[in-house]
Structure 1
């Protein structure tokens, strides 16, 4: 009897711990009022902590080649998900499959905090590099489209 051994491929995900107050690779971004701290970065996945002041949000958009998830840690988020508006609070996990239009907003009086991640990582970290401290929303939309995030036309989602 011939037994084949299967090679185990670990991949490029680095082992270790990114401490609570630290950013992986010291990567921190300011994107239109949000503070993003990288937590994990590899070809297979990218995760960041998002600190979202009251009144901030990300309008409806699509990741054509990435699944996105949100684990809400503090506060609550108003979400456009699968054609409907809903709310997620502490401990809730939001799943947004690739190609699904989605949006999130912090409409409460206090700041909100969540862990976001996408799989595969795609060019999202590079996009955050380009969006850091950029203040022109039209330029954010233009650069996003070049790196794999497609914003929907304004007014295409009721209530956005």
Structure 2
């Protein structure tokens, strides 16, 4: 991980150059910071085949994914969907959702949440952790609630 802990304030003007900025490694995913402020938090994901984020809820944040590469398999409030390059996925606060890379190549997406909440601070805590149970525990302390294993068929 590069840089200090993120302190949120008003959105600063400027450009986040490609390949620069804070990077987190979370259970096989690479998340790269694109922008952070009180009102929103944006990051790019790099997801190898066979990875995913199990069903969870953001009770206070709307979340979006703009698919850049590959195909995401998504669980959205009881339905399974797929989204490919150029598609934008909308997940309102309180909506149970998950995403997986079930293909043979990588997936990349631009994710953002609004308001930012404590997601950047959560990523700081999750960086390089290898214990999924600890990821779930820390997530709950940062306003991300994972559904119990088996709560969603096909997850």
**TM-score normalized with structure 1 length:** 0.90
What's the CA shift string for 1:125-154, capped at 9, x where partnerless? Answer: 000000000000000000000010000000
CA distance in structure 1 between the aligned counterparts of 2:19 and 2:107, rounded to whole angstroms: 16
What residue in structure 1 maps to residue 131 of structure 2? 136
Q: Identify the match of residue 48 of structure 1 among 43, 52, 66.
A: 43
Which of these residues, 121, 125, 138, is aligned with residue 120 of structure 2?
125
Runs of 4+ in 1 over 2 A off after TM superposition: none
Residue 83 of structure 1, CA deviation: 1.1
**In the alignment, which residue of structure 2 is the partner of 1:3?**
none
1:15 to 13, 16, 25: 13
**Which ranges of structure 1 fall in alignment gaps of 5 or more residues?**
1-10
Q: What CA RMSD, in Å, does the superposition of the two structures yield over aligned residues?
A: 0.8
Compute the displacement of 1:20 (Å). 2.1
Equivalent position of 1:7 in the other structure: none
Give CA deviations for 1:54-109 in whole Å, capped at 9, x if unaligned.
11000000000000000000001000012100100000000000000000000000
Residue 74 of structure 2 aligns to a residue in which SS?
strand
CA distance in 2, matches of 1:130, 1:21: 22
CA distance in 1, matches of 2:104, 2:20: 26
Specify the alignment match of 1:5 in structure 2. Answer: none
Report Cα offsets for 1:5-25 as digits up to 9, x if no partner.
xxxxxx7111111112222xx
Query: Does residue 1:81 correspond to 2:76, yes or no?
Result: yes
User: Aligned to 1:19, what secondary structure does the other structure show?
Assistant: coil
Return the TM-score normalized by structure 2: 0.93
1:91 aligns with 2:91: no
Number of residue-to-residue matches in the alignment: 147
